[in-house]
Amino acid sequence: MSPLNPTIRHITFDCTGDPYDLARFWSELLGRPLSDDDKPGDPEALIEGSEGVPGLLFVRVGEDKVTKNRVHFDLQPTGRTRAEEVARAIGLGARQLADHIRPDGRGWVTLADPEGNEFCVERGELD
């Protein structure tokens, strides 16, 4: 890769609620820590990236989400089944939107985070 190419530093989520609360949801879901500088009520919150992995930035905006995301995460569970990961995400505040699991076990479940941003949970390593 050329040193002149840009690097993805953050993936940014717009939110109308408290960015800290949404960042906390994703921090717990992904097991990645929130920045020590962020606190409830701040206009933005950050889950720090690591080497080669972009951070997740949550920024307060004035507009509601009105349509399906054009980009979303596909998560593959580690150390648990897809059903266990879906249940864990729902327990953290996600809601299930659709079940696309096929009879052969392939497929995914579409969920939404507390702000309505879609993400998918694919077959886990234990499925």
* CATH number belonging to the domain at 10-60, selected among 3.30.450, 3.40.720, 3.30.70, 3.30.720: 3.30.720
CATH topology (fold) of 73-122: 2,3-Dihydroxybiphenyl 1,2-Dioxygenase; domain 1 (3.10.180)
The percent of residues in the chain predicted with pLDDT above 90, rounded, is 83
What are the tens digits of pLDDT across the range 68-96? 888 999 999 999 999 999 999 999 999 99
Alpha helices in the chain (DSSP H): 19-30, 82-92
Rounded Cα distance, 80 and 6, in Å: 35
What are the tens digits of pLDDT across the range 1-15? 567 888 899 999 999
Q: Sheet with 95-99: list strands edge to edge.
A: 73-75, 118-122, 108-112, 95-99
Rounded Cα distance, 96 and 108, in Å: 11
pLDDT at position 56 over 90: yes
